[in-house]
Structure 1
């Protein structure tokens, strides 16, 4: 991964870092926690301009987010509900509640979601499904991405040869997010199965 990123930045410079971040939005296995600090470290060595790195990586974040926004927009509300109806244990009402929540808190979700591992990319899809105004989505995504990117690029820039420490510490936070998501899924499944059992017992009476 690191060798590929180094080669990309050697060939394209700061735009190469931006391209990597755009791809990270579409393919989460490409972690921004590696791309951004490495870009900062490369800038610290004088191989790229720091401002160019910040601009290009933020632009890459916005481009990747817009691509997923349009995936959500093309999917649309009706198709989302139709897919949900076919999923085991999921009710259309679950999607409707999520939709109502997003309509109320969507702006904060898009802005802060750009700074949460795992959700950074995924948050663009419901924004597209709900057709959040494109200008609003773009501005919120740009602001959130700029903050996230600046923190990690500057960390790599200041840490120098120790830039990999960023990935180590952020990895702990990422694992915590994954664990919380997994726990939420388990709780959802247990509750929904319990509801089904109650429904069956009630129908037998």
Structure 2
């Protein structure tokens, strides 16, 4: 996949970056670290590319992808989720009231969650779905998503520029960064399941 990503970026420049980052947000397994750090390396090597251009293209792609997932959550809607929980919630020991509590929490802390989750691998894309599901106002959602995205993208592009030919070294450290977050997520899920199980009993 890495070779294909690099080929697309070399072939299409800013447009390739925009499309790849858009796909990365809709299909999280595509690694943004490769796209952005290699993009920084390309900026360093090509006089036709600039840091601002790369940051703009990648940010527009990320925000566009986030809006797609936001509307996916918006279309899915709370009522459909309620029907699913009503029918299959017993499997996960969930009740409709649990969904309302989660939605209430997101309405209270949603903007902060949208911003902070832009720095968490995998979750950075998926957070857009509950934002749409909770009917979060679109304009604030876009603002918080854009701010978080600009910071994330700028750091990775700059690292790619600073490391030059050694840009791939960033991937090793971001793998470690991602693995730490995945472990935290798994632990939180286990704790959540245990809590729900004990509460139901």
Question: By the TM > 0.5 criterion, same fold?
Answer: yes
Q: How many Å separate the matches in 1 of 2:184 and 2:124? A: 16
Q: Indicate if the aligned counterparts of 2:19 and 2:61 stay in contact, CA closer than 8 A.
A: yes
Out of 125, 145, 148, the position equivalent to 1:121 is 125
Greater mean deviation of Cα atoms: 18-27 or 173-182? 173-182
CA RMSD of aligned residues (A): 1.5
Aligned with 1:48: secondary structure? coil
Match of 2:171 among 167, 185, 192: 167
Confirm or deny that 1:52 pairs with 2:49: no
Give SS of 1:115's match: coil
Q: Deviations over 1:75-100 (max 9, x none)?
A: 01111222233132222222112111
After superposing on structure 2, the runs of 4+ consecutive aligned residues of structure 1 that deviate more than 6 Å are: none
Report the secondary structure of 1:109's partner residue.
helix
1:81-100 to 2 correspondence within 5 Å?
81-85=82-86, 86-87=88-89, 88=91, 89-100=93-104
What whole-Å deviation, never above 9, does each CA across 1:166-204 have from its counterpart, x for those lacking one?
1211111211111111112222333333445x4xxxxxx
Equivalences, count: 197
Q: Which runs of 5+ in 1 are unaligned?
A: 199-205
Q: Hey, what's the Cα distance between the residues in 2 that align with 1:151 and 1:99?
A: 32
Equivalent residue number for residue 34 of structure 1:
34
Paired residue for 1:201? none
Structure 2 residue runs without a partner (length 5+)? none
Q: Are 2:69 and 1:77 aligned?
A: no
Q: Is 1:184 paired with 2:177?
A: no
Larger mean Cα displacement after TM superposition, 76-85 or 186-195: 186-195
Aligned to 1:131, what secondary structure does the other structure show?
Answer: coil
Match of 1:13 in 2: 13
